[in-house]
Amino acid sequence: MADELKKGLEGVLVAESELSFIDGDAGRLIYRGYSIDDLAREASFEEVVYLLWHGDLPEAGDLAEFADAMSTERDLEGGTQDLVRELAAADEEPMAAMRTIASDLSAYDPDADADPTDREANLRKGRRLTAKLPTALAAFTRLRNGDEPVAPREDLSHAANFLYMLNGEEPDDVLAETFDMALVLHADHGLNASTFAAMVTASTLSDLHSAVTSAIGTLSGSLHGGANQDVMEMLKEVDESGKDPKQWIDDALANGRRVPGFGHRVYNVKDPRARILSEKSKALGEAGEVKWYDYSVAIEEYLREEKGLAPNVDFYSASTYYQMGIPIDIYTPIFAVSRVGGWIAHVLEQYEDNRLIRPRARYVGDRDLNYAPADER
Ligand SMILES: CC(=O)SCCNC(=O)CCNC(=O)[C@H](O)C(C)(C)COP(=O)(O)OP(=O)(O)OC[C@H]1O[C@@H](n2cnc3c(N)ncnc32)[C@H](O)[C@@H]1OP(=O)(O)O
Ligand SMILES: O=C([O-])CC(=O)C(=O)O
């Protein structure tokens, strides 16, 4: 049993967590006991982050205090502003830029020298990371387009402020609420790969900024958070091909392509987050251009019938963000802007009951070779 190989750690239990529960057969997700459906419709991102970090939903006064404290941390230090400019000028990939910025933020964090497991210091560091990453992402996106950054505003919610900094104008209620909902939906998801990467890093008693930096790098891959960008690029390919979406998918599968936004390690049915986001994508489409939603539905139906595959969160976030006018290559960074709340919660949990995470590989290499000096090989 000890030598049973579990490739990809499928089904392996490595920790106990009170943060999120996924029922992969029922298509159900809860954060700390609350259904994602209720949280997505009723709670703000700030409220959900408080819930994840502190264990309970905040009372009104606590929420206001928490949200205010986070909003005052939105500004970037001069050094980080310079770095963002440099990354934009170098046309860095947005997720690589986010990874570099997350690491850089520790240089200016007043708690950087605290014990890595100090919970109060980590809550302050977490607040700064969560507050500053959206500012850096919006500034990076504007600078590479030749526009100057827009300073954050403390009077706007986390979601509305990001759209304000990105576009230079206050979003209307529909956009702000849709974006807030998207942030809530992406905030946590059990031991997904990026969260696990954060936990592995924290388990060595490394610090929170290192854990978040590891996690951003891990989220960027196309099998994980990177898929939301791939989905939109696929929908555009479908559109440009002029083909029926089902035919396009058939051809892609015949060429050995995986369809981004489909399949999941834990869900055997439609991801509940995709269910909620598909409603948003539909509503935005009906108010504007419905073809992106229509292509998505056609692809979903076809893959369900032909392959038994269901959409994951990345499938309908793509057309939702596209219809909100968000540039395609910052969809994954936006995922990070939300998931940082979950990463921090898991790191806090890891430190509370830490043990070094260190699995094994079955060695299948040679064992008894004789060493020869280089010039005798
Ligand atoms: C936020 C997130 O991270 S959600 C996931 C985002 N990633 C994607 O959308 C990328 C596309 N999806 C995938 O590659 C996979 O479904 C993953 C990586 C999400 C899950 O991977 P795993 O649990 O390891 O499943 P695995 O790769 O073994 O797939 C099982 C079977 O389903 C098929 N399959 C799974 N997903 C897809 C897909 N998107 N397109 C086509 N076939 C697929 C595989 O080919 C495999 O079939 P086989 O057994 O006949 O070879
Ligand atoms: O749980 C996973 O493996 C991937 C995922 O959906 C997420 O991180 O949101």
| Length, in residues, of the chain | 377
Q: Ligand 2 in contact with 265 (CB < 6 A)?
A: yes
Q: Is the CB of 314 under 6 A from ligand 1?
A: yes
Mean pLDDT across the chain, nearest whole number? 97
The CB density around residue 345, as the number of other CB atoms within 10 Å, is: 28
Residue 129 CA to residue 121 CA, distance in Å, equals 12
- Cα(162) to centroid(ligand 2), Å: 23
Tokens of 327: 């540039």
For ligand 2, atom 3: residue with the closest CA: 192
Average the pLDDT over 73-80 and give the result. 98
Number of Cβ within 10 Å of residue 27's Cβ equals 17
Q: Which pLDDT score, from 0 to 100, does residue 189 have?
A: 98
Q: Which residues pair with 28 in a beta bridge?
A: 23
Over residues 39-57, the mean pLDDT reads 98
Is the pLDDT at 44 greater than 60? The verdict is yes
Phi-psi region of 8 (alpha: psi -120 to 50; beta: other; left: phi over 0): left
Provide long-range contacts, Cβ within 8 A and 24+ apart, for 293-298: 293/319, 295/235, 295/238, 295/239, 295/245, 295/319, 296/235, 298/244, 298/245, 298/246
For atom 8 of ligand 2, the residue with the nearest CA is 192
Q: Residue 3: its pLDDT value, please?
A: 82
Residue 1 has pLDDT above 80, yes or no: no
Does ligand 1 come within 6 angstroms of the Cβ of 219? no
Question: Rounded distance, CA 267 to CA 25, Å?
Answer: 6
| pLDDT (average), residues 134-154 | 98
Cα(50)–Cα(29) distance, integer angstroms: 18
Whole-number Å distance between alpha carbons of 369 and 359: 26
CA distance 225 to 261: 10
Please provide the DSSP assignment of 157-202 as one string: -HHHHHHHHHHSSPPPHHHHHHHHHHHHHHS-BTB-HHHHHHHHHH
At 79 the pLDDT is 98
Rounded CA-CA distance 294/97 in Å is 33
Collapse the DSSP code of 75 into the 3-class scheme (helix H, G, I; strand E, B; otherwise coil) and give the result.
coil
Rounded to two decimals, the pTM is 0.98
Structure tokens of 147?
């526009």
Ligand showing the shortest atom-to-Cα distance for residue 255: 1
Residue 2: predicted pLDDT: 64
For the segment 189-199, the average pLDDT, to the nearest whole number, is 98
